[in-house]
Amino acid sequence: MTHAYWNRNGLTRRGALAGLAATTALTALPRTARAQDVTLRWWSPQSAPLQVEAYNHQIATFQEANPGIKVVFETTSDEGYAAQLAAAFSSGEVPDVVTHLPSFSIHTYYASGLVEPMNDVIEAVGADDFYDGANDVYKAADGNFVATGIGNVAANMLWLRTDLMEEAGIDKQPTTWDELRAACQAMQKNGIYGAPLPYGRNSMTTRIFVGVMHQAGAQVFTPDLEVAIDSQETRDALEWYKSMRELCPPGATNYSWGEAITAFVSGATATGIYTGRVLGNVVAQNPPIADHITCKVYPTISPDVKPWTFNAFPSVFIPAQSRHIEEAKKFAIHLFEPEGMIKQLHAAPGHLLPVLKSINANPIYQDNPIIKKYPTEVDRMAAAAADGHNLGYETKAHRSNDRAGDVEGTLAISDMVQRVVLNDEDPNVVVGETAKIIEDVMKG
């Protein structure tokens, strides 16, 4: 079924689509080829089978409403998208729409003139329908929005096996690192490890450890974007992370996203660290533990330190080199139509959480077996994600960091983890050298 929602200018989303070509922003753009000559390329690293099925539905309904415009979906990689996009930008053979990349990457591209502003897309979808502050993370220094959110994600929730906790005599969910370590020690037996923390040289280790730093009271940058990683709090974070290595499987040395989720879902670890994709995977792949899992915000070094959730703010953006800007914006708006958006969210319930109030309130969205089975966990993730941050948006006091994608791309933070934890190098030396690498990136 199709719904029309009012935006703050009184236009329906359907009406906005029909009138998009007449907006000031679009009339200033070069004319594209005739609709019957247009093929749009859509890139995303989110490509599980059920998600692709939902994307195909969105493509089919868009093509039906826009005869002559074809959309082709192409899979990218969570670890490899930066290189893929760099090659595309360099050659000029860019995708027309890109989704599910972290917000800070888009700021980096926008600062180099590679991304089209999305202000008119947000207005057409309905600016007031987005949750308060949902698009703040995409606002550039010039006032333009470099992208818009397609979902929220709480990437570093702590997942717990309540049955194993009970067997080990653990009567409360851990809220501090000491409590978590003690719980993992108590549950590590009979071939089950305590945790699946990543120690690989990759984006997961980088992002998870940025969270761990904040859970120690550290930060990578000051609010004015001076490098602040060289601190005692960072050393405390490294010390704790090193202490957890013996409680993780041997393969954690190379863990990234797939290995970390599989470790918990398969029952190999008593705790997990991941998004809500855990819920659907457990129900489908390991139903005997489905009634014995829950999640909470990840513990901190002490009760005095506030939890910090990594929200990548998965995005929708349009490369400025696209030859079909007008049609790409039409398709971007179409991605928020309720029927297709709900199918996309239901493809991984709890993994991506709604950014539109109307979607969250829609009874069709709420009528999902996973969401119904785990309402407490979904609510916890939604609250954590809404208050979440990332390397480009460390706290509400921080300026937006358009170099955050470049900083992550160096893998300097995951290298720091490997050097201290796996190679037993002096943390004082390693942290100082890591700060220098980041400073060089920030200087351009």
Task: Give helix 49-65 / helix 325-334 axis angle, nearest 10°.
Answer: 120
pLDDT attached to residue 18: 41
Cα R_g (the chain), whole angstroms: 22
Given a contact cutoff of 8 angstroms between Cβ atoms, the answer to whether 297 and 309 are in contact is yes
Q: What is the rounded CA–CA span in Å between residue 427 and residue 236?
A: 10
Query: Exposure of 396 by Cβ count < 10 A (0-12 exposed, 13-18 middle, 19+ buried)?
Result: exposed
pLDDT attached to residue 173: 98
Q: What residues contact residue 39 under an 8 Å CB cut-off, 6+ apart?
A: 69, 70, 71, 72
pLDDT attached to residue 36: 54
Q: What is the rounded CA–CA span in Å between residue 209 and residue 113?
A: 30
Q: What residues contact residue 24 under an 8 Å CB cut-off, 6+ apart?
A: none
Look up residue 174 and give its two tokens. 């851990």
Q: What is the rounded CA–CA span in Å between residue 425 and residue 27?
A: 58
Using the structure block, give the residue that is written with the tokens 């003139």: 113
Using the structure block, give the residue that is written with the tokens 């409403």: 65
pLDDT attached to residue 71: 98
List the chain domain ranges: 13-153+312-373, 157-309+397-443
157-309+397-443: CATH architecture:
3-Layer(aba) Sandwich (3.40)
**65: how many CB neighbours lie within 10 A of its CB?**
14
pLDDT attached to residue 161: 98
Given a contact cutoff of 8 angstroms between Cβ atoms, the answer to whether 118 and 145 are in contact is yes
> What is the mean pLDDT for each group of 10 consecutive residues in the chain (444 residues)?
31 41 37 64 92 96 96 88 91 96 91 96 96 89 94 96 98 98 98 98 97 98 98 98 98 96 98 97 97 98 97 95 97 98 95 94 96 96 93 91 93 98 98 98 92
Using the structure block, give the residue that is written with the tokens 């929602």: 5
CATH tag, 13-153+312-373: 3.40.190.10
Given a contact cutoff of 8 angstroms between Cβ atoms, the answer to whether 274 and 261 are in contact is yes
pTM: 0.85
pLDDT attached to residue 400: 86
pLDDT attached to residue 76: 87
Given a contact cutoff of 8 angstroms between Cβ atoms, the answer to whether 362 and 45 are in contact is no
